[in-house]
Amino acid sequence: MPTILQQTFSVPFRYPVAFTEHLFASTQTLFVDTFPEGQLARVFFVLDSGVVVHHPKLISQIKSYVAVHSSRLTLVAEPMVVEGGEACKNDTEAYQRVVEASHVHGIDRHSYLVAVGGGAVLDMVGFAAAISHRGIRLIRIPTTVLSQNDSAVGVKNSINAFGKKNYLGTFTPPFAVLNDFTFLQSLEDRDWTSGISEAVKVALIKDLDFFEWLEREAPALARRELAPMKEHIIRSAQHHMAHIASKDPFEFGSSRPLDFGHWAAHKLEKLSSFRIRHGEAVAIGIALDSAYSFLQGRIDESDLLRIFNLFRTLGLALYAPELQEEALLQGLKEFQEHLGGTLTIMLLEALGKGVEVHEMDQTLILKALQLLKSWENAPIFSKK
């Protein structure tokens, strides 16, 4: 007879997601107060090159801030600057540089890696932190709309491999997430608007009131007004955090509601050689799955046109020529493989209400694609 010892335990995770401005101003204490009192925190910064270009004083501001709070903070080495965007997830040397730095500078499990940048840099540094010493404490400082309203608040870290997005990665909660709205003001228009697609996603599957708010505020968001941008980021982040806490944070199952629109988006990013931003691809993916939901009779045409109108008002495209039929269907297969063999796709049952399905009709997918292509260059649509 075999002897079987059953092991069961649970580990609570808790981390703050804070929102502020001018994080490294000498009088701002949010950053230093993130660390335990009575200890000298050893920190190492990894900075997105794009952020450094647009904020050339950032490194000196960080050094000055640490000097002001030297009784509680110390830099273990000069900040490291890495290439921003998807390139840092495609190049294995990027995360290896961070891992090597942890070795060279003695960055241990009681030290802190501080990643400042867009979602790709946060993903890459998070992956390096998770695999070094089986986990170095990570503080994320997201600098884009998409990373502040979605990706940075979660527990995923990854790099790309074998031509597939996020193929290598971990589920490792951060020590803290510190959002500084000041960084948003230097974003290009594309990055300002494309990140809003993740808020549209969560509103469509969870919160009709939020979707209607986005409809009303879309012109102001497109004009780069900061007040509605702040509100939308906080509301979106709250939705993402609530879902992660209440469902399946480490994705042991196949249910991935927060990936609404993403199966096509991930493929489109790769097909465009990442010419298309993640948020832009997500908008197209959402439009595709919304059109598919319409063709299945789950939502009516007026619902679909409201979704299309919102994206068009925000200045986001509904179609990209790289998304050809054969490649699109291959993307569905790859998404199924990523889930572990069981296909689970989020569609719309109504505006503000998602529904999961476990199969998709390839003919309807291609019809939905043609709908996007035919409506992409149309004027803002009538709701009637």
Encode the chain (384 residues) as per-residue pLDDT tens digits. Answer: 899 999 998 888 899 999 999 999 999 999 999 999 999 999 999 999 999 999 999 999 999 999 999 999 999 999 999 999 999 999 999 999 999 999 999 999 999 999 999 999 999 999 999 999 999 999 999 999 999 998 899 999 999 998 888 899 999 999 999 999 999 999 999 999 999 999 999 999 999 999 999 999 999 999 999 999 999 999 999 998 988 887 667 666 545 667 899 989 989 998 998 899 999 999 999 999 999 999 999 999 999 999 999 999 999 999 999 988 898 888 888 777 766 667 889 999 999 999 999 999 999 999 999 999 988 766 655 443
Nearest to residue 178, comparing CAs of 109, 245, 228, 117?
117
274: tokens are 């990442």
On whether the CB atoms of residues 89 and 123 are closer than 8 A, the answer is yes
Helices 301-314 and 208-222 pack at an angle, to 10 degrees, of 30
- pLDDT of res. 383: 44
Phi-psi sector, 360: left (phi>0), alpha (psi -120 to 50), beta: beta
Nearest to residue 154, comparing CAs of 210, 108, 202?
202
Beta bridge partners of 112: 43, 137
Please give the Cα distance from 22 to 329 (Å, whole number): 45
- pLDDT of res. 255: 53
Please give the Cα distance from 55 to 57 (Å, whole number): 6
Alpha carbon separation from 370 to 110, 302, 321 (Å, rounded): 54, 18, 11
Nearest to residue 125, comparing CAs of 61, 179, 59, 169?
169
Three-state secondary-structure class, residue 228 = helix
Domains of the chain, earliest start first: 17-186 (3.40.50.1970), 189-375 (1.20.1090.10)
Question: 51-83 burial by CB neighbour count: b if 16+ within 10 A, else e?
Answer: bbeebeebbeebeebbeebeebbebbeebebbb
Nearest to residue 195, comparing CAs of 230, 147, 157, 140?
147
Please give the Cα distance from 327 to 329 (Å, whole number): 6
354: tokens are 């998602």
Handedness of CA 64, 130, 16, 178 (dihedral sign): positive
